[in-house]
């Protein structure tokens, strides 16, 4: 597949609502006025642009879309996932890896732990999951910066650590990268379209050569640039995560209703602080001014004074008959327009927000502080939320395995040891955290751990332990310290017992000696 075909195939994979969802997530809740559902001037109306500008200035928004995306993402990858390596071959019951196999596993885990920490791969995964949730698709790309390649477009390293040091993980925009599947062969090709610093369009196409099994990376656009083939065990350097978008059209509608209610609430505050007055049948303060030419007098009103301590004298408007003769004066009245009760807007905003939470299966966040909600309703709401995480978890764990295995394969190839780790496969498990749980749920978790229905690590995660490995290390250290203290105490007790026994023997011997001397 050439660069032109690859770019065209990528462009065909439309992502409905991507532009709007990304704008909401990043905080643009105006979107050129298209996200405003309140009153607006008619198209082409004189002064309409100024009215829209004033509406935009007064817009009040609550970014609930980012909130629900962040909450879902945090539940899946908020905590460091548990990952490692095991053998591809199946182990019999009770069988352990051989010393050589265990040494290979330890080497792989130690090397990738350094890469994981130095490249902050956890944060990259969090970014990819956020994109996946609002776009429905996200991509990960392992690459070596072009400035680190030799003249042949390859990397040569002496050690595995040196090879891993040149690897980087990119999280491109979903419209820039992904996997394109050939319908006739079901072969997948990785595509990444980008623009260079000088404005040139480039397309990176990643495929696997069927004859050699090597991974081929071709960069086209302007001039062709083919990287050296790399033996990666048939893996591509681009991975794609896919699921139904969390942000649906209904969620966007609720977000716009929420923004409308918040904006109108602010408008109502202005009306409450600056009351609107309507003056009927009253002559405003002012004076009659005579025209210098026509000598006709015209009434010129003065500005109406407002605020504390001001006094305005208003007279009724004159009432004239058909001949223009004043026959009387109208009775002036002033009407105040009171603001709407704030409960109208608060109730609307609450309903819109709750509607969003229901759409994304996060109703437990709304009832967490509700004193009237029963414990059972909270458990059911949390269970609904945890069930909705499944589609994301499966994609993240698959992407995590790809990331670990591909990075290790690339490093081995760069170190001139291709296929060295083919006997290993990665394990990657998300530590799901759906938020704080009640005391009853904590007790139930402890009972399940004691009964062997849950592992200690899973139980620790459920009760809110962030770093289970560190916590287990602390527990082991405390247990060892307690054992040492017990041994020390036992030794001291035995020592004291020995001294006491020795003393008793000494006293007895002295008594015997005394009795012997007395008999003599």
Please determine, for residue 173, whether its predicted confidence score (pLDDT) is greater than 80. yes
29-33, 112-116, 450-454, 458-462: the lowest-pLDDT one: 458-462
CA dihedral 430, 434, 440, 443 (to 10 degrees): 20
Listed residue (132, 244, 140, 235) closest to 188, CA to CA: 235
219: β partners: 204, 225
Contact assessment for residue 110 and residue 68, using Cβ atoms and an 8 Å cutoff = no
Give the pLDDT score at 273: 60
Give one DSSP letter per residue of 65-91, joined into a string. Answer: HHHHHHHHHHHHHSSPPEEEEEESSPP
Report the pLDDT value the prediction gives residue 287, as an integer from 0 to 100.
Answer: 84
Rounded to whole angstroms, how far apart are CA atoms 285 and 313?
7
| C-alpha–C-alpha distance, residues 82 and 94, integer Å | 23
CA-nearest of 406, 430, 399, 426 to 88 is 426
Q: How far apart are CA 3 and CA 1, in angstroms?
A: 7
Give the position of tokens 């999951």.
Answer: 129
Lowest mean pLDDT across 60-69, 359-368, 375-384: 375-384
Mind listing the pLDDT tens digit for each residue in 327-338?
888 888 877 666
What DSSP line would sit under 357-420, residue for residue?
A: HHHTT-THHHHTT-TTS-HHHHHHHHHHHHHHTHHHHHHHHHHHHHHHHHHHHHHHHHTT-TTT
Paired tokens of 386: 């945890």
Check: CB of residue 216 under 8 Å from CB of residue 209: yes
Q: Record the pTM.
A: 0.79
Of 22-36, 142-156, 243-257, 384-398, minimum mean pLDDT range: 142-156
Name the helix (H) or strand (E) containing 345. Answer: helix 342-359
pLDDT in tens, 191-219: 999 998 888 889 999 999 999 999 999 98
Residues 358 and 343: their CA atoms lie apart, in Å, by 22
Structural contact between residues 457 and 468, judged by C-beta atoms closer than 8 angstroms = yes
Residue-wise pLDDT for 419-451, tens only, equals 999 999 999 999 998 877 767 778 888 998 999
CB–CB of 382/365 below 8 Å?
no
Query: What is the pLDDT confidence band of residue 509, given thresholds at 50, 70 and 90?
Result: low
pLDDT of residue 271: 64
The whole-number pLDDT of residue 275 equals 62
For all residues of the chain together, what is the average pLDDT? 87
Which among 517, 339, 432, 410 is positioned nearest to 160, based on CA atoms? 410
Long-range Cβ contacts of 464-473 (<8 Å, 24+ apart): 464/433, 464/436, 464/437, 466/79, 467/79, 467/80, 468/82, 468/431
Instruction: Check whether 371 has a pLDDT greater than 60.
Output: no
Q: What is the pLDDT of residue 440?
A: 74
Percentages (nearest 5) of helix, strand, coil residues in the chain:
45, 15, 35
> Which pairs from 154-160 meet CB under 8 Å and 24+ separation?
154/227, 154/228, 154/230, 154/414, 155/414, 156/414, 156/416, 157/411, 157/414, 157/415, 157/416, 158/415, 159/415, 160/107, 160/111, 160/411, 160/412, 160/415, 160/417
């Amino acid at each position: 597949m050439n660069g032109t075909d690859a770019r065209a195939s990528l462009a065909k994979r439309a992502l409905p609502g991507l532009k709007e969802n990304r704008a909401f997530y990043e905080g643009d809740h105006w979107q050129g006025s298209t996200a405003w559902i309140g009153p607006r001037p008619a198209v082409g109306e004189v002064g309409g642009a100024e009215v829209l500008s004033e509406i935009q200035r007064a817009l009040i928004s609550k970014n609930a879309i980012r909130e629900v995306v962040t909450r879902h993402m945090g539940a899946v990858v908020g905590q460091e996932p548990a990952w490692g390596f095991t053998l591809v071959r199946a182990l019999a019951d009770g069988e352990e890896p051989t010393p050589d196999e265990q040494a290979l596993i330890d080497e792989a885990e130690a090397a990738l732990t350094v890469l994981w920490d130095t490249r902050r791969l956890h944060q990259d995964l969090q970014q990819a999951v956020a994109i996946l949730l609002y776009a429905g698709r996200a991509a990960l790309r392992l690459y070596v910066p072009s400035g680190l390649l030799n003249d042949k477009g390859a990397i040569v390293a002496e050690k595995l650590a040196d090879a891993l040091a040149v690897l980087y993980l990119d999280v491109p925009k979903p419209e820039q990268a992904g996997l394109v599947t050939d319908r006739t062969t079901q072969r997948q090709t990785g595509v990444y379209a980008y623009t260079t610093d000088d404005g040139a369009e480039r397309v990176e196409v990643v495929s696997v050569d069927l004859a050699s099994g090597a991974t081929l990376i071709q960069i086209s656009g302007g001039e062709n640039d083919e990287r050296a083939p790399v033996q990666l065990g048939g893996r591509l350097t681009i991975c794609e995560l896919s699921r139904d978008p969390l942000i649906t059209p209904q969620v966007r509608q609720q977000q716009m209703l929420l923004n409308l209610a918040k904006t109108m609430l602010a408008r109502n505050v202005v009306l409450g602080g600056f009351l609107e007055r309507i003056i009927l049948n009253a002559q405003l303060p002012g004076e009659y001014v005579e025209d210098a030419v026509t000598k006709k007098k015209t009434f010129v009103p003065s500005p109406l004074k407002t605020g504390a301590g001001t006094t305005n004298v208003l007279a009724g408007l004159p009432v004239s008959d058909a001949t223009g003769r004043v026959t009387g004066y109208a009775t002036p009245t002033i009407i105040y327009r009171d603001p709407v009760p704030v409960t109208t807007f608060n109730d609307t905003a609450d309903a819109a927000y709750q509607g969003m939470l229901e759409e994304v299966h996060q109703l437990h966040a709304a009832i967490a502080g509700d004193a009237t909600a029963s414990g059972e309703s909270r458990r059911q709401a949390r269970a609904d939320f945890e069930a909705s995480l499944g589609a994301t978890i499966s994609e993240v764990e698959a992407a995590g395995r790809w990331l670990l295995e591909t990075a290790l394969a690339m490093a081995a190839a760069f170190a001139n040891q291709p296929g060295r780790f083919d006997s290993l496969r990665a394990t990657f498990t998300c530590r799901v955290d759906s938020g704080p749980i009640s005391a009853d749920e904590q007790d139930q978790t402890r009972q399940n751990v004691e009964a062997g229905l849950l592992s200690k690590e899973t139980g620790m995660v459920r009760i809110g332990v962030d770093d289970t490995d560190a916590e287990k290390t602390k527990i082991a250290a405390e247990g060892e310290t307690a054992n040492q203290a017990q041994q020390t105490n036992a030794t001291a007790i035995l020592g004291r017992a020995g001294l006491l026994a020795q003393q008793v023997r000494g006293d007895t011997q002295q008594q015997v000696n005394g009795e012997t001397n007395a008999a003599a």
